[in-house]
Structure 1
């Protein structure tokens, strides 16, 4: 009986893994789309586009390091969305150099190194760390925490 159970698990586990891989591939694409939509909305200066991307209690934070004194600064999501809407289309250009996605059920993280340009001039670079939650079948951004430094 133990041999039969082992044989069945060896046959069915690869099938389950294939299903999980296919499903996780779709979720990976959906998470990437939510993150990329944020930067598309910023570039278009479209605050309406941004509003739908966040959970109601979303947070936006920055890790600041001023002469070795590390602190966390927080901005209200509403203030951020409003400031994007007041920008000139094309002025805000955050360029990602990669995106590392991790997903477990309805929770996802995205690690995105970036360079930020304002009116075509590079201002800073760093990394964004996103936490997303799948609500009603849609990946919503719950937190963004980033680093900012002068680029080399």
Structure 2
């Protein structure tokens, strides 16, 4: 019985550590984003990362848009220094199966300290060697 409990505890600690590693990759992504540091962002993104957004609007309808990684890095680096922005992640729901992880992360986006929009980010990550890399990011955006 003691061995069974020890095995369960070890599995629990391992899963918790894996979830922390996944969350750290996403936190590093946003740290780079807020610093406009595309090198930092790329350190946790696959070179084949897919980026999509769903804009939700009652007046204009819902719209799915794609952005290449190159466009994303360029637009991030070119954000004016006078513009203050912050994406606040409200919580993380992390699921892992082997070398794949999925994260559901509701957020609020602020421009110059005013709420601009909110929604949910979903990330799919792949464990490449010892690093969790973002391979897919889609978010919803609503005013």
- Please give the TM-score of this superposition, normalised by the length of structure 2: 0.88
Go from structure 1 to structure 2 and tell me whether the alpha carbon gap of 1:29 and 1:90 turns closer, same or farther (over 3 Å shift).
farther
Q: Distance in 1 between matches of 2:40 and 2:85?
A: 14
* Deviation beyond 6 Å, 4+ runs, structure 1: none
Residue segments in structure 2 that go unaligned for 5+ positions in a row: none
CA contact (8 A) 2:83 2:112 kept: yes
Structure 1 residues not aligned, in runs of 5+: 1-9
Which of 86, 92, 111 in structure 2 is aligned with 1:93? 86
Asked if structure 2 preserves the Cα contact closer than 8 Å seen for 1:45 and 1:92, the reply is: no
Alignment map for 1:38-53 (pairs within 5 Å):
38-53=29-44
Normalization by structure 1: what TM-score?
Answer: 0.83
Return the offset for 1:11: 5.7
Over aligned residue pairs, what C-alpha RMSD do you find? 2.0
The CA deviation string for residues 7-59 of structure 1, in whole angstroms up to 9 with x for no partner, is xxx66543332221111111111111111111111111111111111112111
Does residue 18 of structure 1 match 2:17? Answer: no
- Separation (CA, whole Å) in 2 of partners of 1:14 and 1:73: 49
Pair member with larger Rg? 1
Give the deviation of 1:121 after TM superposition.
2.5
Looking at secondary structure, tell me which structure has more helix per residue.
1
Change (3 A) 1:31 1:89: farther
User: Could you say which residue in structure 1 is the equivalent of 2:140?
Assistant: 147
